């Protein structure tokens, strides 16, 4: 199983930098999600990895072997592009046989290997159909089967669910997880959707502006982001980011919604900070306890199982969620007394965007 | 009720306009089965005893065979060459987007904005100077050259509608560009290819001016035959005109009839195309 390593990879297009010194190692047999806004460089990185474009500098290694100049066809990468790119004028069988036919494999071998791959992905009955007759999930499976027949053990899925309806996306994500367990290959998955990233990933790579902002296991990235940009990009609904200022003693942070005790990590002395407060770190105040602040409800979004609430408080709007069952009494313009869950929100240095600490367990300063 | 009435009226107008446009074709086809005096009868004869004598006389002329052959060879060869060249050019414009693609595409089409009568003199002088006049090869290449701009435009619209993800899937699996073009792109834009073939075929098939001036006895096509053999003993030879015209309009009519669904796609290309 190939371990992929990017070693100082750079890519420039006519002077503009698309990838800036990418150093990264991808664990074999994991699903690594590359998440970032459009233009963050994730697609360029994949195109270079696939071999569709040469890097301007740096190397790509599979198991320590330099494959930077290897042609795309010789890399053991299965490419599943946006919307799957099954050839509409060929039957599913010929779509799957395409890599083998190009290699000049003899007919009987093609037939038996296509059937084997189709059996593995449970699309055998579909071999005689046209791609337009397949459901979204069947298309995904056919596209992956085509990758398998190229002898790939790395699969790149370039935003495969973009533009599909919500229900289909959900079932395709489930399907892909099952498939991955069956195939056991390495999957690299590109998306701009934080919810998709959190649902799919073992490992997460957050990209922005041609850089890797942060990489690591998905839980760590969510609960302990080292970079403010990670907190901004990963999470749904989006994380609340508000400016704060460390007071002289260095242990209290004041912000638009109140003052908090902060536990700093060693060696940090920034005075201008940013607070990242996840929606779930904001909770309605318990009756009888004095709230941190009282905001006003400005917007309610019912997601079914929960309700997203936009609360205006102290010149800023916070986003939080409450279970739908608790929503019966809320209306636009209602007061919303709330608390911040101690220990949850994270403090970042405003200048360097690095994490410098977290709110203390005792709530108020 | 009023909706139905206006729709009926609408259909009646459509039929009327279609019939008015069809009337000259009808008249010429009908005339080809009449004798000379029947053609010139006033009021026009709608009921008469049809004769095949005009056709018998037409097919017996060696000139007919020669000119018909020229028309077929020139149009078919020129159009095939033009569409093959245009397909590769359109693919290059669509996929590799050379600098100033839009300007180049405009330049390409600008030759078709030139009236033929403005271009004919320099082209004639060039053909005479190079000794290309009245040659099959150079006549064919002239028509191919004239058909290329429009074909590139049509085909580029179609190729733009085919996602580059298909090309990349080909590259990843080791396909050459020629294999990608032939096996992945071409089959997906077949309606565009057929549309380009037919539009250009009709143009070359009907072309008179250039064939008359830079062609000659060897390469003259049917429009030239029609124009030059029209007069007969001081009058117009209506039986010759009507029977030759009827034979002459058959190939384009058959082509359009059988491929009209492609033509409709061709005329509206670029409007409704999604990625698959």
| pLDDT given for residue B70 in this prediction | 95
User: Are B147 and B79 in contact, with CB atoms under 8 Å apart?
Assistant: yes
pLDDT exceeds 50 at position B270: no
Greatest mean pLDDT among A235-244, B20-29, B41-50 lies in: B20-29
Scanning every residue of chain B, which has its alpha carbon at the shortest distance from the alpha carbon of A81? B165
Scanning every residue of chain B, which has its alpha carbon at the shortest distance from the alpha carbon of A74? B174
Straight-line distance from the first to the last Cα atom of chain A, in angstroms, rounded to the nearest whole number:
52
Q: d(Cα B64, Cα B244) in Å, to the nearest integer?
A: 8
Confidence band for A121, pLDDT divided at 50, 70 and 90 = confident
pLDDT exceeds 60 at position A310: yes
Confidence band for B271, pLDDT divided at 50, 70 and 90 = very low
Please indicate whether, in this complex, the C-beta atoms of B168 and A150 are within 8 angstroms of each other. no
Please indicate whether, in this complex, the C-beta atoms of A87 and B175 are within 8 angstroms of each other. no
Please indicate whether, in this complex, the C-beta atoms of B172 and A150 are within 8 angstroms of each other. yes
**Token digits for A229?**
């940009």
pLDDT exceeds 50 at position B142: yes
Scanning every residue of chain A, which has its alpha carbon at the shortest distance from the alpha carbon of B180? A102
Residue B124 lies in a domain: yes
| Residue numbers in B near A73 (CB within 8 A) | 171-174
Q: Identify the residue with better confidence: B2 or A52.
A: A52
Q: From the CA of A94, how many Å to the nearest CA of chain B?
A: 12
| Percent share of chain A, pLDDT over 70 | 96
Counting the structural domains of chain B, the total is 1
Residue B6 lies in a domain: no
| pLDDT given for residue A42 in this prediction | 92
Residue B3 lies in a domain: no
Residue B235 lies in a domain: yes
Scanning every residue of chain B, which has its alpha carbon at the shortest distance from the alpha carbon of A151? B173
Average confidence (pLDDT) over B259-263: 79
User: Are B246 and B32 in contact, with CB atoms under 8 Å apart?
Assistant: yes
- Which CATH number fits the domain that encloses residue B119? 1.10.3720.10
Q: From the CA of A99, how many Å to the nearest CA of chain B?
A: 5
Q: A348-358 pLDDT, tens per residue?
A: 988 888 898 88
Average confidence (pLDDT) over B123-131: 95
Q: What is the extent of the structural domain holding B115?
A: 56-267
Scanning every residue of chain A, which has its alpha carbon at the shortest distance from the alpha carbon of B187? A89
| pLDDT given for residue B273 in this prediction | 43
Please indicate whether, in this complex, the C-beta atoms of A85 and B172 are within 8 angstroms of each other. no
Confidence band for B68, pLDDT divided at 50, 70 and 90 = very high
* A126-135, A292-301, A320-329, B221-230: least confident range: A320-329
Q: From the CA of A3, how many Å to the nearest CA of chain B?
A: 20
Encode chain A in three state secondary structure.
CCCEEEEEEEEEECCEEEEEEEEEEECCCCEEEEECCCCCCHHHHHHHHHCCCCCCEEEEEECCEECCCCCHHHCCEEEECCCCCCCCCCCHHHHHHHHHHHHCCCHHHHHHHHHHHHHHCCCHHHCCCCHHHCCHHHHHHHHHHHHHCCCCCEEEEECCCCCCCHHHHHHHHHHHHHHHHHHCCEEEEEECCHHHHHHHCCEEEEEECCEEEEEEEHHHHHHCCCEHHHHHHCCCCCCEEEEEEECCCCCEEEECCEEEEEEECCCCCCCEEEEEECHHHEEECCCCCCCCEEEEEEEEEECCCEEEEEEEECCEEEEEEEEHHHHCCCCCCCEEEEEECCCCCEEEECCCCEEEEEEEEEEEC
| Helix pair angle (A136-148, A107-120), 10° resolution | 130
Residue B255 lies in a domain: yes
pLDDT exceeds 70 at position A365: no
Residue B60 lies in a domain: yes
Cis omega (within 30 of 0) on the bond before B43? yes
Interface test with A, best of B158, B165, B173, B273 (most A CBs within 10 A): B173
Confidence band for A286, pLDDT divided at 50, 70 and 90 = confident
Interface test with B, best of A44, A49, A50, A72 (most B CBs within 10 A): A72
| pLDDT given for residue A10 in this prediction | 94
Average confidence (pLDDT) over A281-309: 85
Looking at CATH, the fold of the domain delimited by A4-225 is given as Rossmann fold (3.40.50)
Q: From the CA of A166, how many Å to the nearest CA of chain B?
A: 18
User: Are B67 and B222 in contact, with CB atoms under 8 Å apart?
Assistant: yes
pTM: 0.79
Q: From the CA of A167, how many Å to the nearest CA of chain B?
A: 19
Q: A125-139 pLDDT, tens per residue?
A: 999 999 999 988 888
| pLDDT given for residue B276 in this prediction | 34
| pLDDT given for residue A249 in this prediction | 66
| pLDDT given for residue A203 in this prediction | 92
Q: Which of B165, B171, B275 sits opposite A72 (nearest CB)?
A: B171
Q: Which of B163, B165, B175 sits opposite A102 (nearest CB)?
A: B175
Q: A152-211 pLDDT, tens per residue?
A: 889 898 887 777 777 777 887 888 888 787 788 899 999 988 888 888 888 999 999 999
User: Are A84 and A160 in contact, with CB atoms under 8 Å apart?
Assistant: yes
- Looking at domain A237-364, its CATH class is mainly beta
Q: A37-82 pLDDT, tens per residue?
A: 888 999 999 999 999 999 999 999 998 899 999 999 889 898 888 8
Q: Can you give the residue ranges of every domain in chain A?
A: 4-225, 237-364
Please indicate whether, in this complex, the C-beta atoms of A150 and B171 are within 8 angstroms of each other. no
Q: Which of B163, B175, B179 sits opposite A85 (nearest CB)?
A: B163
- Phi and psi at residue B231, to the nearest 5°: -85, 145
Please indicate whether, in this complex, the C-beta atoms of A52 and B276 are within 8 angstroms of each other. no
| pLDDT given for residue A328 in this prediction | 63
Q: Which of A71, A73, A85 sits opposite B165 (nearest CB)?
A: A85
Q: Which of A73, A83, A87 sits opposite B275 (nearest CB)?
A: A83
Chain mean pLDDT for chain A: 87
Q: From the CA of A316, how many Å to the nearest CA of chain B?
A: 42
Strands A258-264 and A4-13: unpaired
pLDDT exceeds 90 at position A334: no
Please indicate whether, in this complex, the C-beta atoms of B168 and A103 are within 8 angstroms of each other. no
Scanning every residue of chain A, which has its alpha carbon at the shortest distance from the alpha carbon of B176? A102
* A36-45, A150-159, A249-258, B183-192: least confident range: A249-258
Please indicate whether, in this complex, the C-beta atoms of A87 and B166 are within 8 angstroms of each other. yes
Predicted complex ipTM: 0.77
Residue in B77, B105, B98, B87 with CA at minimum distance from that of residue B151: B87
Chain mean pLDDT for chain B: 89
Q: Which of B171, B184, B276 sits opposite A52 (nearest CB)?
A: B171
Confidence band for A257, pLDDT divided at 50, 70 and 90 = confident
| Residue numbers in B near A88 (CB within 8 A) | 188, 276
| Residue numbers in B near A71 (CB within 8 A) | 174
Confidence band for B45, pLDDT divided at 50, 70 and 90 = confident
pLDDT exceeds 50 at position B274: no
Residue B215 lies in a domain: yes
pLDDT exceeds 50 at position A362: yes
User: Are A91 and A130 in contact, with CB atoms under 8 Å apart?
Assistant: yes
Confidence band for B186, pLDDT divided at 50, 70 and 90 = very high
Confidence band for B275, pLDDT divided at 50, 70 and 90 = very low
Scanning every residue of chain A, which has its alpha carbon at the shortest distance from the alpha carbon of B190? A89
């Amino acid at each position: 199983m190939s371990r992929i390593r990017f070693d100082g990879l750079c890519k420039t297009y006519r002077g503009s930098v698309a990838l800036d010194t990418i150093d990264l190692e991808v664990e074999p047999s994991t699903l690594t999600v590359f998440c970032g806004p459009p233009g963050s460089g994730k697609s360029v990185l994949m195109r270079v990895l696939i071999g569709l474009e040469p890097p301007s500098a740096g190397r790509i290694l599979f198991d320590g072997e330099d494959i930077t100049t290897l042609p795309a066809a010789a890399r053991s990468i299965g490419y599943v592009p946006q919307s799957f790119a099954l050839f509409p004028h060929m039957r599913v069988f010929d779509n799957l046989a395409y890599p083998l036919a190009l290699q000049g494999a003899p007919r009987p071998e093609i037939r038996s290997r296509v059937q084997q791959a189709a059996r593995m992905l449970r699309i055998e009955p579909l071999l005689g159909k046209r791609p337009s007759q397949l459901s979204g999930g069947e298309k995904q499976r056919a596209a992956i089967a085509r990758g398998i027949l190229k002898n790939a053990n790395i699969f790149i899925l370039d935003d495969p669910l973009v533009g599909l309806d919500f229900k289909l996306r959900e079932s395709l994500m489930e399907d892909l997880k099952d498939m991955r367990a069956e195939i056991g290959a390495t999957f690299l998955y590109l998306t701009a959707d934080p919810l998709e990233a959190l649902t799919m990933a073992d490992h997460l790579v957050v990209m922005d502006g041609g850089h890797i902002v942060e990489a690591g296991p998905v839980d760590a990235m969510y609960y302990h982001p080292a970079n403010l940009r990670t907190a901004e990009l990963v999470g749904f609904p989006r994380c609340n980011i508000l400016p704060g200022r460390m007071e002289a003693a260095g242990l209290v942070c004041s912000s638009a919604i109140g003052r908090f005790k902060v536990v700093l990590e060693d060696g940090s002395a920034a005075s201008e900070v940013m607070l990242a407060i996840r929606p779930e770190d904001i909770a309605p105040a318990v009756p009888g306890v004095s709230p941190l602040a009282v905001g006003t409800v400005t917007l309610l979004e019912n997601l079914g199982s929960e309700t997203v609430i936009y609360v205006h408080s102290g010149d800023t709007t916070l986003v939080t969620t409450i279970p739908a069952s608790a929503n019966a009494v809320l209306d636009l313009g209602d007061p919303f007394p709330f608390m911040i869950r101690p220990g949850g929100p994270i403090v970042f240095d405003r200048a360097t965007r690095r994490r410098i600490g977290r709110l203390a367990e005792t709530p108020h300063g | 009720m009023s909706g139905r009435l206006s729709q009926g009226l609408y259909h009646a107008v459509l039929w009327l306009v279609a019939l008015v446009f069809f009337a000259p074709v009808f008249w010429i086809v009908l005339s080809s089965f009449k004798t000379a005096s029947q053609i010139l009868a006033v009021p026009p004869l709608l009921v008469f005893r049809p004769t095949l004598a005009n056709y018998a006389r037409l097919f017996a002329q060696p000139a007919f065979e020669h000119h018909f052959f020229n028309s077929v060879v020139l149009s078919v060869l020129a159009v095939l060459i033009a569409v093959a060249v245009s397909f590769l050019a359109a693919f290059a414009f669509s996929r590799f987007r050379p600098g100033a693609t839009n300007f180049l595409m405009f330049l390409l089409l600008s030759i078709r904005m030139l009236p033929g009568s403005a271009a004919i003199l320099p082209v004639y002088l060039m053909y005479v100077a190079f000794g290309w006049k009245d040659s099959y090869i150079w006549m064919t290449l002239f028509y191919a050259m004239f058909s290329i701009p429009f074909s590139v435009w049509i085909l580029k619209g179609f190729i733009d509608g085919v996602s580059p993800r298909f090309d990349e899937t080909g590259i990843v699996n080791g396909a050459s560009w020629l294999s990608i073009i032939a096996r992945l792109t071409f089959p997906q834009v077949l309606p565009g290819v057929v549309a380009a073939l037919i539009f250009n075929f009709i143009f070359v098939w009907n072309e008179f001016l250039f064939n008359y001036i830079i062609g000659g006895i060897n390469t003259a096509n049917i429009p030239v035959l029609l124009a030059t053999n029209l007069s007969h003993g001081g009058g117009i030879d209506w039986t010759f005109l009507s029977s030759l015209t009827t034979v002459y309009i058959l190939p384009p009519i058959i082509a359009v009839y059988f491929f009209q669904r492609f033509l409709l796609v061709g005329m509206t290309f670029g409007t409704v195309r999604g990625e698959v």
